[in-house]
Structure 1
Amino acid sequence: MISLADMITEQAEPYSSSKGESQQVISSEAIAAIAKHHAQPGSSIEAQALRQKITPLRYLRNQNAIPAQEQILLLESSIAQVGLGGLGGTLLDIFLRTGIGSIKAADGDLFEESNLNRQSLSTQKTLGWEKSRAANQRAYTINPSVSFDARHLFLKPKELPEFLTGADIAIDALGGLETRLALQQAAARVDIPLVTGALAGWTGYVGVILPGQPGPAEIMGRNNAAEEMLGCPAPTVTLIASLMAALTVQLLSGHPSLLAASIFVIDLKSLTFEKISL
């Protein structure tokens, strides 16, 4: 059998940028064929290609912002995300396109028409669907190299540690406040960071909670009145999710967190951004 490295080299093609710079690249189609031949996830093939200084075309526009060694770290990383609604759907889209190698997610909800204003997985076609079903289909169409598993269930507090086990980072994409503290405690129990975010109207916050550190769930309570009264407009949802995704990518890439033991509070009405220590 031809070796993995040799097969990647055979499938590589020359590529010249608009500036005339040349490099070797490999297509998503070639990655999929090699992955099938060697019975490995596509993300593993992409990581190996990068080690051979061959850039997957999918990540060509990542490379000046995410160096090859950091892209490899992302491809070999695993995250566990709780929630596939407003924040969760946008986060999933970003994680898939960025190339995080393994993602598992859970959400027991169904899509309804009121989700259409902000939830990227919610469409006229998916109304009434399980959010996990829409997420599984979306993941395959965006990036089949990612190992993705979405489950249709509302995780109970006692189930959270097992769900998070094996992940490098936990992602809090929950709606409301009811389960956030349990998720924070579960992440600490399995000794992984938690990236969290929430919003109400035009305001929101994001944070990184390292095991043993305080988090916003300890001071926000469990009352969802603010979100219900102020609403969930798409610009706030998208911004908070994007900030959460950036924090996740930084952590997985080996960079220290700039938000440990603190939160970043955003108000899009007044365009204010504040860092608050917890």
Structure 2
Amino acid sequence: METKLTQEENRHYVRQMIVPGWGEAGQLRLKQSRILVIGAGGLGAPVLLYLAAAGVGAIGIADGDYVEGSNLHRQVIHGIEDLDRPKVASAAEKLRRSNPHVLVTEHTFPVHAGNADSLIAQYDLVVDCTDNFTTRETIALTCRKAKIPLVSGAAQITDGTITTFTPYKGAAHPCFNCLYPRSPGSDLTPGCSQIGVAGPVLAVIGGLQAMEAVKEIIGMGDSLSGRVLVYDALSARTEEIALERRGACPCASACEEERRAVNS
């Protein structure tokens, strides 16, 4: 494990290391961290670019899709020259070009219940940039079982939301299903291909996701666990909603079982 920054890295990151609460120690924690970004589309684009620029030591990119022309108004990590390429390969190329200090690993496949455990176990933190609820539930459940922080974002039309899930920390930290209780297999909302999405909204939410991931790794500021930040682009307003654990949620009984096992 790296125990210090190189002279080149110190020069590269000097403007963020002078931020209060960041410092060289925080930068070293970023260098030592492994972050998985699931989804290399509209949200994943700014998340990946900013995490690489910030100096996260190892970034994994997971996505099974290919770049299409209709992606380009919002998925700013891709360009015309990337059409029909795997999104993971396109994104990885941009990250390696932008910051040679970052190790980028390509996972060119969709994440599902059959591979989520082995994939997520390789990382310290996950950023969910996917756009369907089945996948998001799978990611959230896997992160909860593995006790790995999950930074989750979503956007549609001109609105977006972001929160962090760390339900394994106790009752004050609700899970994905506390926010979205529903019957398995049913999606709550149509995708952006049906209702649309404004590109800059994804930049806002993705940028917030990147910052929350940095905060979790460094240990600075207040976590969004237990809070949902809602962004309304048309009114240029944000709102914070308190999120509490639902007593009937599976995460409550699961955490109680884990507590009993530890104390037995």
Matched, 1:57 2:17: no
Structure 2, unaligned runs of 5 or more: 169-173, 244-264
Match of 1:261 in 2: 226
Pair 1:210 & 2:175 matched: no
1:101-157 deviation digits (Å, cap 9, x = unpaired): 011121000000000101022211000100111122112101121111022101221
Q: Secondary structure at the match of 1:206?
A: strand
Give TM-score, length-normalised by structure 1: 0.78
Distance 1:59 1:232 in 2: 33
Matches within 5 A, 1:134-213: 134-212=90-168, 213=174
Moved segments of 4+, more than 4 Å: none
Q: Is structure 2 residue 78 aligned with structure 1 residue 98?
A: no
Alignment: residue pair count:
232
Question: Which of these residues, 191, 196, 204, is aligned with residue 231 of structure 1?
Answer: 196
1:277 equivalent to 2:242? Answer yes
Runs of at least 5 residues in structure 1 that lack an aligned partner in the other structure: 1-39
The 3 A distance-change label for structure 1 pair 189 and 67 is same
- CA root-mean-square deviation: 2.1
Alignment match, 1:88 = 44
Contact 1:79 1:103 in 2 (8 A): yes
**SS in structure 2 opposite 1:86?**
coil
Deviates more, 1:253-262 or 1:79-88: 253-262
Relative to structure 1, the CA distance from residue 224 to residue 127 in structure 2 (aligned partners, 3 Å threshold; closer, same or farther) is farther
* 1:144 counterpart letter in structure 2: P
Structure 1 or 2, whichever has the larger Rg, is 1
> What amino acid does structure 1 have at the position aligned with 2:62?
A
Inter-partner Cα distance in structure 1 for 2:192 and 2:149: 25
1:79 matched to 2:41? The reply is no
Structure number with the bigger relative contact order (C-alpha 8 A, sep ≥ 6) is 2
Change (3 A) 1:155 1:55: closer
For residues 273 and 99 of structure 1, the distance between their equivalents in structure 2, rounded to whole angstroms, comes to 28
Specify the code of the residue in structure 2 equivalent to 1:178: T
Residue matched to 2:72: 116
Distance apart, 1:57 and its partner CA: 1.9
Q: Say whether residues 1:240 and 2:205 are aligned partners.
A: yes
Letter matched to residue 59 of structure 1 = Y
What secondary structure sits across from 1:225 in the alignment?
coil
Do 1:77 and 1:101's aligned partners in 2 also have CA atoms closer than 8 Å?
Answer: yes
Give yes or no for contact 1:121–1:131 (8 Å, CA) kept in 2: no
1:107 aligns with 2:63: yes
Does the C-alpha gap of structure 1 residues 164 and 226 become closer, same or farther in structure 2, counting only changes over 3 Å? closer
Change (3 A) 1:103 1:55: closer
Question: In the TM superposition, what is the alpha-carbon distance from 1:256 to its structure 2 partner?
Answer: 5.7
